[in-house]
């Protein structure tokens, strides 16, 4: 199994920091904000009230109800309790969904660039990842690209909008058309919507959950509290899907990790049911950073960057800087760290060599210093 590119970058930064270097770190795949106070207090109260025992595998009823209510309020969708389960992070929802579905040799379509976990989970489950190249359409999967990639062995497609690493967001009409095609061809869909709420106007928040029920019979949505509520360490996520699929997923979870941590479940209930101002504040901060960063990146020679409509990543093309001594984006990232103590994540691990991922889940001051360093570096290499 491949080591995660994200974690490798984090470790390299840590080693330099330990040696006393002034590191600018754009590697982070998590918010730089603290978990909002009301959410922490809900966990404290749950602990004091003795809610520290096993719960049902898919989470307590109040959490399932909070997830169902959220989707009803936001997207007008009616999910039944048998169609929802809480998981230990969105990652476990994806894992459960994939391992319960695949038989040996099943093909799984994964658009590039992809979150590093997708192909690894598919291989773990005995499936065969089949990648769809989307560079010609600036990393936005089109219905035509999807349709062309389907073979008689295609069992599943994994979608991720907003995307990690590209930050790109599928337009609702495109998203719908892709799921219509999947439905016509009896292909299952896992829609990883972990960055659901981090979308920048004019792009709009869209969940596949808002599609009509007949398009959702082979659709599993993976959701997460990690990014929206700055709760990465709490390990809370959920899955929404057809009852028979969720039932199989509950079996896998029941015989592996059981319920997500009980007190984290109460924190998650408060996250959904409590005040949402903190989400707006984080979004406003990401919006300002994103605008500044995109402008700064566009001014750097040798760097090109599509506009990321969501998440908190920019994914620039650095091939303009690979003409002289540097030959790959891996070398680019490595040398940038050595010369300028600045961490970016090489795109190769995401299936997009020639690109690097820059996370703006870091302060404006760090962004400004990092862009000075990146510019200096790029000017030396074009
Ligand atoms: C695209 C994507 N999906 C899922 C996850 C999983 O998040 P978690 O398991 O913390 O909910 C991440 C985390 O980085 C992600 O980037």
DSSP state string for 252-263: HHHTTT-SPPHH
* Residue 81: CB atoms within 10 Å: 14
- How far is the centre of ligand 1, averaged over its atoms, from the C-alpha of 269 (Å)? 19
**Residues recorded for the chain:** 382
pLDDT at 372: 98
Region of 2 on the Ramachandran plot (φ > 0 left; ψ -120 to 50 alpha; else beta): beta
Please compute the mean of the pLDDT values over residues 225-247 and round it to a whole number.
98
pLDDT band (50, 70, 90) for residue 6:
low
Q: Give pLDDT tens digits for 250-292.
A: 999 999 999 999 999 999 999 999 999 999 999 999 999 999 9
Q: Whose CA is nearest to atom 1 of ligand 1?
A: 164
Please compute the mean of the pLDDT values over residues 355-363 and round it to a whole number.
97
Please compute the mean of the pLDDT values over residues 304-313 and round it to a whole number.
96
CA dihedral (30, 32, 37, 41) positive or negative = positive
pLDDT over 70, % of the chain: 98
pLDDT at 12: 76
pLDDT at 14: 85
**Is the per-residue pLDDT at 94 higher than 90?**
yes
Helices 117-124 and 90-101 cross at an angle (nearest 10°) of: 40
Q: Give pLDDT tens digits for 39-65.
A: 999 999 999 999 999 999 999 999 999
Which residue in the block uniquely carries the two structure tokens 């936001």? Answer: 74
Please work out whether the CB of residue 90 comes within 6 Å of at least one atom of ligand 1.
Answer: yes
The atom of ligand 1 lying closest to the CA of 92 is: 9
Burial 298-335 (b: 16+ CB within 10 A, else e): eebebbebbebbbbbbbbbbbbbbbeeebebbbebbeb
CA torsion, points 63, 66, 68, 74, in degrees to nearest 10?
Answer: -150
Region of 258 on the Ramachandran plot (φ > 0 left; ψ -120 to 50 alpha; else beta): left
**Distance, C-alpha 351 to centroid of its chain:** 15
**Is the per-residue pLDDT at 122 higher than 60?**
yes
The pTM for the full model equals 0.96
pLDDT at 4: 62
Please work out whether the CB of residue 113 comes within 6 Å of at least one atom of ligand 1.
Answer: no
**Is the per-residue pLDDT at 365 higher than 50?**
yes
Q: Where are the alpha helices (DSSP H) in 49-142?
A: 61-75, 90-101, 117-124
pLDDT at 29: 87
pLDDT over 90, % of the chain: 94
Cα 120 from Cα 124, distance rounded (Å): 6
Q: Contact 319/127 with Cβ under 8 angstroms?
A: no
Please work out whether the CB of residue 57 comes within 6 Å of at least one atom of ligand 1.
Answer: no
CA dihedral (210, 213, 218, 222) positive or negative = positive
pLDDT at 158: 98
Please compute the mean of the pLDDT values over residues 140-168 and round it to a whole number.
98
pLDDT at 5: 60
**Is the per-residue pLDDT at 1 higher than 60?**
no
pLDDT at 354: 98
Please work out whether the CB of residue 166 comes within 6 Å of at least one atom of ligand 1.
Answer: no
Please work out whether the CB of residue 89 comes within 6 Å of at least one atom of ligand 1.
Answer: yes
Strand partners, 111: 132
Residue 14, CB half-sphere, CA atoms under 13 Å: how many? 7
**Is the per-residue pLDDT at 326 higher than 90?**
yes
- How far is the centre of ligand 1, averaged over its atoms, from the C-alpha of 86 (Å)? 15
Residue 243, CB half-sphere, CA atoms under 13 Å: how many? 4
Please compute the mean of the pLDDT values over residues 141-146 and round it to a whole number.
98
pLDDT at 219: 98
Q: Which of 194, 233, 260 to mutate to test the pocket of ligand 1 (most atoms within 8 A of CB)?
A: 194
């Amino acid at each position: 199994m491949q080591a995660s590119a994200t974690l490798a970058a984090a470790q390299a930064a840590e080693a330099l920091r330990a040696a006393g270097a002034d590191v600018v770190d754009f590697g982070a795949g998590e918010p730089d904000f603290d978990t909002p106070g009301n959410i922490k207090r809900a966990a404290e109260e749950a602990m004091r009230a003795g809610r520290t025992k096993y719960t049902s595998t898919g989470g307590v009823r109040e959490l399932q109800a909070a997830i169902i209510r959220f989707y009803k309020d936001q997207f007008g969708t009616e999910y039944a309790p048998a169609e929802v389960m809480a998981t230990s992070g969105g990652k476990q929802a994806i894992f459960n969904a994939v391992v319960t579905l695949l038989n040996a040799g099943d093909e799984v379509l994964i658009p590039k660039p992809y979150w590093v976990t997708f192909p690894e989970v598919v291989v773990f489950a005995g499936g065969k990842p089949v990648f769809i190249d989307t560079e010609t359409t600036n990393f936005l999967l089109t219905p035509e690209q999807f349709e062309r990639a389907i073979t008689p062995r295609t069992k599943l497609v994994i979608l991720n909008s907003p995307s990690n690493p590209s930050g790109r967001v599928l337009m609702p009409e495109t998203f719908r058309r892709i799921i219509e095609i999947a439905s016509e061809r009896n292909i299952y869909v896992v829609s990883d919507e972990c960055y659901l709420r981090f979308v920048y106007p004019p792009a709009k928040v869209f969940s596949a959950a808002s599609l009509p029920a007949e398009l959702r019979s082979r659709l599993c949505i993976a959701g997460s509290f990690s990014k929206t509520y700055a709760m990465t360490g709490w390990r809370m996520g959920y899955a929404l899907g057809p009852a028979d699929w969720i039932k199989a997923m509950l079996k896998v979870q029941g015989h592996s990790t059981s319920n997500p941590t009980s007190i984290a479940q109460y924190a998650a209930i408060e996250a959904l049911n409590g005040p949402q101002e903190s989400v707006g504040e984080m979004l406003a901060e990401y919006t300002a950073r994103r605008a500044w960063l995109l402008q700064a990146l566009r001014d750097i020679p040798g760097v090109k960057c599509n506009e990321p409509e969501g998440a908190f990543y920019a994914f620039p093309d650095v091939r303009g800087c690979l003409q002289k001594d540097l030959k790959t984006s891996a070398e680019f990232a490595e040398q940038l760290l050595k010369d300028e103590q600045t961490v970016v994540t090489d795109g190769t691990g995401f299936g997009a060599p020639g690109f690097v991922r820059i996370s703006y889940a870091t302060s404006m001051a760090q962004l400004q210093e990092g862009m000075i360093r990146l510019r200096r570096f790029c000017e030396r290499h074009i």
